[in-house]
Amino acid sequence: MRNYDNSRKLFKRASRVIPGGVNSPVRAFRAVGGNPLFIERAKGSRIFDADGNSYIDYVLSWGPMILGHANPVVLAALKKALAKGTSYGAPTALEIELAELVLKIYPSMDKVRMVNSGTEATMSAIRVARGFTGRDKIIKFEGCYHGHADGLLVKAGSGAATFGVPDSPGVPESYARNTVTLPFNDIPALKKTIEKQWREIACVIIEPVVGNIGCVLPRPGYLEALRKLTKAHGIVLIFDEVMTGFRVAFGGAQARYGIKPDMTCLGKVIGGGLPVGAYGGRKEIMSMVSPEGPVYQAGTLSGNPLAMTAGITTIKELSKAGAYRDLEKKASQLERGLKDAAKRAGVRTRFYRAGSMFCTYFAGAEIVDYQTAKSADATLFARFFTAMLQRGVNIAPSQFEAGFMSLAHSEKDIEQTVASAYDVLKKL
């Protein structure tokens, strides 16, 4: 048995000064039992906790560490940038360079604005869409998490799904009234709502692959129908690719599925492990953003030179020949191994993957939306999580979160993960 004494002490200390002892709810391990790990350092495919335990990491800071932890190229670039200062509150050439890289890879965007988080990106994109259309209502989808802005905490995923509180106290009823929530992958419901309410709907915001109730893939034709309906009724289509951007493909889900949204939100990977978000879109929409237009949005730390440096360096590394072929090979190997382990152990699971993000559900039925995701056995998952942690494999502490592959994971890491999974599953 692994020793977690130092993590327990730190959690007890943190609980006295931080709500729930953590700065983001799902870190608290409440969905899986026990106390959270407190991490001291990370390198490559591994994290190391306060008790000196090592783990193969498939959380990867919830996605951004696509090159692996403490990538030497990124660290070297950050060291140079750090020597020049940490924040200027003024424009830099770095902001332009990252923006140009992003626009080249995501041609649906003509202009992009840097912010500090995914929440800022989605919140700002919706405000711009409302300003552009002159309409108030938005459509989102059950289980899609777009950050913790008030109007988006309605039937949300991520921690909200994990803790069973999809509607948060503190959100005014007037905000919720302007948020229309629909089931994911349901074309008739989408068509009926848009055709009835389109004059009031400013935008539709969606995770094209839902990453905050695990990993739910769009059914064939679903995103195409969404694009057709929004375009026909002058509704701004926003792809929240904070999680899927650079993960499901180099050009995100929009490249993978061949859909061109009006606006895109990015984050995670483009910060290379530092806090960054971004939103962009068609020129006529983005011209609404202050100071070019009347829709106000600002941020003292937006375009932070360290974050821009980490993002530029990460994207350049991902641009190298063979990077995505390598990621696909590793993720595919893990998928085959985990599916085979479950089959040999006689445990019913559903494994879904889009590029280098994935999820295993303890369920027999197909997972296509929030309701079917909720039917998965979270109790069985909690037992699986705890046993895997004891064997040195770190997966997200919730049935409703995605896992991630990095370029730093080795074949040995994957083999150890699969062997551990089989050992755990046969005992479940």
Is residue 291 reached through a cis peptide bond, with omega within 30 degrees of 0 on the bond before it? yes
How buried is residue 35: exposed, middle or buried, by Cβ count under 10 Å (0-12/13-18/19+)? middle
Q: Which domains does the chain have, with CATH numbers?
A: 5-70+321-427 (3.90.1150.10), 72-318 (3.40.640.10)
C-alpha span between 15 and 59 (Å, rounded): 23
C-alpha span between 123 and 103 (Å, rounded): 20
pLDDT for 260: 98
C-alpha span between 232 and 198 (Å, rounded): 10
- What are the tens digits of pLDDT across the range 162-191? 334 445 666 777 777 888 999 999 999 999
pLDDT for 159: 46
C-alpha span between 64 and 247 (Å, rounded): 9
pLDDT for 165: 41
Is the four-CA dihedral 9, 12, 15, 17 of positive or negative sign?
negative
* Catalytic (active site) residue 268: yes
pLDDT band, residue 221 (cuts 50/70/90): very high
The per-residue pLDDT of the chain, averaged, comes to 94
Neighbours of 75 (CB within 10 A): 14
pLDDT for 31: 86
pLDDT above 50 for 160: no
The one catalytic residue in 55, 106, 145, 422 is 145
pLDDT band, residue 224 (cuts 50/70/90): very high
- What are the tens digits of pLDDT across the range 325-334? 999 999 999 9
**Average pLDDT value for residue range 340-359:** 98
- What are the tens digits of pLDDT across the range 290-325? 999 999 999 999 999 999 999 999 999 999 999 999
List the one residue out of 352, 343, 420, 346 whose CA is nearest residue 386. Answer: 420
Q: What is the DSSP string of 64-118?
A: T-TT-BT-HHHHHHHHHHHTT-S--SS--HHHHHHHHHHHHH-TT-SEEEEESSH
> What is the value of pTM for the model shown?
0.94
Three-class DSSP category at 283: helix
pLDDT for 150: 63
In the block, tokens 């090592």 appear at 54
In the block, tokens 């699969």 appear at 418
pLDDT band, residue 147 (cuts 50/70/90): confident
C-alpha span between 260 and 76 (Å, rounded): 36
pLDDT above 70 for 154: no
The one catalytic residue in 140, 155, 268, 330 is 268
List the one residue out of 24, 28, 46, 26 whose CA is nearest residue 37. Answer: 28
pLDDT above 70 for 157: no
Give the CA distances from residue 176 to residues 137, 146, 172, 186, in Å, rounded to whole numbers and listed in that order.
10, 14, 7, 21
**Average pLDDT value for residue range 231-249:** 98
Three-class DSSP category at 145: coil
- What are the tens digits of pLDDT across the range 39-83? 999 999 999 999 999 999 999 999 999 999 999 999 999 999 999
The one catalytic residue in 49, 57, 240, 262 is 240
* Catalytic (active site) residue 330: no
